[in-house]
Amino acid sequence: MNIKLISRYLGVTLIFNGSFMLLSMVISILNGMDSSFTPLLISGITTLIVGLFPLIFVRRTEEISISEGFAITILAWFLSCIFGMLPYLMWGGEFTLPNAFFESVSGFTTTGATILNNIEDLPKGLLFWRSSTHFIGGVGVVVFTLLVLPTMSTFRFKMTKMEISSLSKENYRFRTKELIRIILSVYLCITLLAHAALCVAGMPAFDAINHAFSIVATGGFSTRNASVMAFESFPIEMVVTFFTLISGLHFGLLYSLFVSRSTKIFKSPVIRMFLLSIVISTLSVSFNLLHSDLADNWFDALRKALFQVVTISTTTGFATADTSVWPAFSILILLYLSIQGACSGSTTGGLKVDRVLILYKTLKAQLVKLQHPSSVVQIKVGDRRIESDVILGVALFASLYLFVIVFGAVVVAAFGLDFTDAFTSSVSMTANIGPAFGSCGSLENFSHFPGVVKFFFSLQMLFGRLEIYPILVMFSIFRIRRR
């Protein structure tokens, strides 16, 4: 493994993060040089210097092995989170070491969970940096690193599988640089359109850009303690709902829709299943809220249900209601949506609808086989036949994913958390949602958890964001090399 090569690409990652810290410092200057100016200045310069060092002393190369790619991917996330907490630590306030690391990881993994009791006390420069971690993490530290890779005609490195599931990616066999351009163009377009729409809907410009960063990254950080509910605006809620839903779709399909005028997005069985799950869940939760006297009328019930169903199914985690007091039926629906997630090829967390659809098709095929043992049943998603190794991989990943959730719940329960807090928090961290239920519900935070639990949750967020396998592969590589 070429350590110098790895350090070069990690340097690019740190330069990008440092640049956003300095941009946040500019926001601080524009707001009267608030108390975040010095922390952002020192953190930004430090991060830039550390990032520039390997770029100056390590030569460029056109070759990169898979093991080096895994190392770059994982270390890029960890280093981003470590350097990303520096402005928090230097600013002080509620940001102890466990709190600062948790907030940083939550931002870069686009989880959106927070330890802050009063978000509105933060200076605007620090608020902007906090939202910027969503923006950076959403498109992926790895993608930004790949942007500076030299042109390689055969470079189809599997690194992108960590950011874009191969189940959806099979329909879009671009070379890496083409794929990145597509991701970035869609990503930036959604950000700009969401910002403009929020401003038109009545949200202040600063709040709008912060929420646009969270929307496109399906993150969930807000500039207000009460999240989107604080604005008390139906137009703002609908804008957030629409763009959050768009951000949960496959970026490649969105690109083909707007650039090539292709209608593949409407024919995709994955997107149909995703939208169907939202419609059914919204109607079910609406009915439940109305008959539990938690909504004034059908319109109020639909308004609350639609927003929470979309924000949870896309693993964004914004809130317009306290879902912790909702009936068990509604909570269980939201928990299922949390685990399912949205479409691969987006910035969302969770298992992804693609995998859930394959599991459903596999179960359906097995039921047919039980009735007709001699029959040969092909499993297809759309017009594509799913190979047996893909099915096995999906089944193994789903099993491992659920194991991580259960294991996480058991670990944090050992620190005295009740079942609701332990299980729903574990789901939230693994699926990168943000809010859970119980004492860490949609309008609450994670400040009351012990420091060691916050560190554990931080690792769980990273496991979920990297989809588990890359970290396990790296452990395996290091074990083999030590023998």
Any idea where the domains of the chain sit in the sequence? 1-163, 165-402
Q: Is the dihedral of CA 90, 94, 100, 105 positive or negative?
A: negative
The whole-number pLDDT of residue 173 equals: 47
The whole-number pLDDT of residue 476 equals: 73
The whole-number pLDDT of residue 8 equals: 87
The whole-number pLDDT of residue 145 equals: 42
The whole-number pLDDT of residue 395 equals: 92
CB 341 within 8 A of CB 350: yes
CB 435 within 8 A of CB 444: yes
Burial 69-86 (b: 16+ CB within 10 A, else e): bbbbbbbbbbbbbebbbb
Measured CA to CA, the distance from residue 253 to residue 174 in angstroms comes to: 13
| Residue pLDDT tens, the chain, 483 long | 778 888 888 998 999 999 999 999 999 999 999 999 999 999 999 999 999 988 887 777 656 777 777 788 889 899 999 999 999 999 999 999 999 999 999 999 999 999 999 999 999 999 999 999 999 998 774 464 444 333 333 333 333 343 334 344 444 445 566 777 777 888 999 999 999 999 999 999 999 999 999 999 999 999 999 999 999 999 999 999 999 999 999 887 888 787 767 676 778 899 999 999 999 999 999 999 999 999 999 999 999 999 999 999 999 999 999 998 999 999 999 999 999 999 988 888 999 999 999 999 999 999 988 888 887 788 888 778 888 888 898 999 999 999 999 999 999 999 999 999 999 999 999 999 999 998 898 999 999 999 999 999 999 999 998 888 777 777 776 665 666
The whole-number pLDDT of residue 143 equals: 64
The whole-number pLDDT of residue 164 equals: 38
**What length is written for the chain?**
483
pLDDT one-digit tens code per residue, 338-380? 999 999 888 889 999 999 999 999 999 999 888 888 877 888 8
The whole-number pLDDT of residue 410 equals: 97
pTM score, whole prediction: 0.91
The whole-number pLDDT of residue 15 equals: 94
Q: How far is CA 135 from CA 221, 235, 300, 456, in A?
A: 11, 23, 32, 24
User: Tokens standing for 442?
Assistant: 């949609």
The whole-number pLDDT of residue 483 equals: 61
Measured CA to CA, the distance from residue 176 to residue 122 in angstroms comes to: 39
The whole-number pLDDT of residue 345 equals: 80
The whole-number pLDDT of residue 155 equals: 34
Measured CA to CA, the distance from residue 240 to residue 120 in angstroms comes to: 20
pLDDT one-digit tens code per residue, 2-49? 788 888 889 989 999 999 999 999 999 999 999 999 999 999 999 999
